[in-house]
Structure 1
């Protein structure tokens, strides 16, 4: 009994104490304070709807927040939020649309820069980022006193991440994982702990010692399961349910004992009989849960499973960070008038916007060689498994003629890449789609210009 209650008392530490103390042992990186560089605003069409642009930028900001950009590139992220708030205020006070769009242009520029910097930080601090993500999933945002010191350290590291030592990364990672663990304990067992604390203060250890001891035992079993494998939701859920049921029974027995003081001898006997039956049921459940949770082989298996899960998640997180960095590096090679670069599934898409083919011709325009050379360099840097060149036309003219023209233009671009043999045989191909896949309406000059395009589909580590 004494051992059980002693362990329980040791397990009532607060989340803030665990998170902060775990990081105090790590040492500190040198603090760096940088003034935010002034960026040029991104130009937004003067005909754009200001309210819609604000809504879209808010969605992008929320997504960046979910991707932890607020701690990986805090300076630029905060600056973007400030401009967004200013744009909202301008919109509410009836400012001119041009002024609102200009403010949003700054917000977009700073958010774009924040995302770029965050990708670099994420690639360098993959395990820290993953550990923080796990803590947030557990509900750590509900405990800002514990989360804030760790996030402040992450922000500090992000400003000069190339100088953060492996030991500092490991310390911060472990602090986030400790916060995750303590958060799970509080979320899952906080109510049970409160009930047992109240029961103890009411003298449960003396009044109903067996029931109280069993409730503490269930609490410890559930806590042990969480510490052994915090992601085993089914087993933890069963143990937490058992602990909650037991703690609730303790509170009811205390209330029953209080009421029995005013009962007749016969009524007290009936109450004791019901209490004994409840304790017998509790014994059976406790025995079953304990036998399942404390077997050595099962605990080791759970630990192996948790380790595998963590390693797989780390690999997936690292893969995403690397893919984001590839997109960022590729996009930096082109200006806004040359190409758009984005990821579609596992593929990298380079959408050429400046391929000014002569009408009805498939010969490469001389002014396109520069941008095609840039694409070639990107392909060399990535070293992909395959490349597909896709040609598209506008909707002017007969379908069969446009189909043939798109095929010839795509083939011309492919042959330009093939001259340097940047990929092996059978790893580069071309395809024409005519006007079957328009991006915009063919009823306007601007729409037709968008539809006349060449897409370079880069497929890492896979054949066409």
Structure 2
């Protein structure tokens, strides 16, 4: 008996402890901290729904949602099963996203038609038909999700056309509804009894708006023009009817009607400060008033033209000032850039290699550090370092023309010196082209022999200075002349 009683007590105690444990309830913040996959699944579900994954992959998305519900149930009571269900839900949602990508690709044209239908407001104006179209669309995405892509492709055309028709219906409602309502109200108020001609024009414009949309659902602008005209004619018909009813209710005679009309004209033209000549025929009255108004319009147009011309002149002057300022800034920048490049070229050469001179925009490199065997024009390897520096200097000005000139002292015959100087200049030009990759069409060369000495040939130093090759970098072609 005691053993049974003890077992019973143990069972009761176990049930009590289990009940206490099951009553544990975590806050959402604690739950997400304890089971991070739950919070991640919640965020991803919200993002996926904003991307309509629930429509493009409904079954798999629904599975992920159910996993989230289970995860919440277990995690809120601090049970590790919550994390397990959340992890399952994340895997299911990843699959749903992959399905959605495939569905968007297969149903691209249908999706575009659906988007246009929603933009046209069919969801509000044709709710039942739109709901049916959405159900058909989800049926297609479910087929794709289930691997039945060929069957989904076969059903695309039907759903595409359904959305197109819905869009057209919505566009008609949106574009011409006001015109339609205005026509209905006019007929309800018996406007067609008093102003049938004007109301007939309203009906014709309304029908034209419908015809435009039937022919081209995207021609909203043209349809709107006809719809607005219809609305205007309906409103005009209403005003005509109101005026006629006013005459009838006030017992206007035919003379009273004419006097009322003349009074309205007088009010319209009162800013002209002119008495209207009602003693003349109505045709003449209208003609004279039209001429007076046109005269004022012409005077205003003339004044406006003068103001615009003055304004245009001022704007032109401002533009010219801006252009001058801009040119000045560009020139200043070019000067600064040119000075910087010149300084760089100067820094390349030692005093024994070359002298560098600036000639406006051009740069002259007077290279007297070359070594040519006596009477020869072949470039020795000892000259390569200097030639490489000259190449670097030339490349500092990419679009420049290059003039290479050879010079000798006065030792030897004039013809020999002339031929020798030209041959040496040619060898330097070929080096710039073949080794420095400078296009030959940018390079010219010329020999001057002893014709242009820089120092006297009477001294050894002078003759050494005169035996030189000069490289003129021409940035402005006009400076060559």
TM, length-normalised to structure 1: 0.40
Instruction: Write 1 or 2 for the structure with the bigger share of helix.
Output: 2
Asked which structure has the greater CA Rg, the reply is 2
TM, length-normalised to structure 2: 0.39
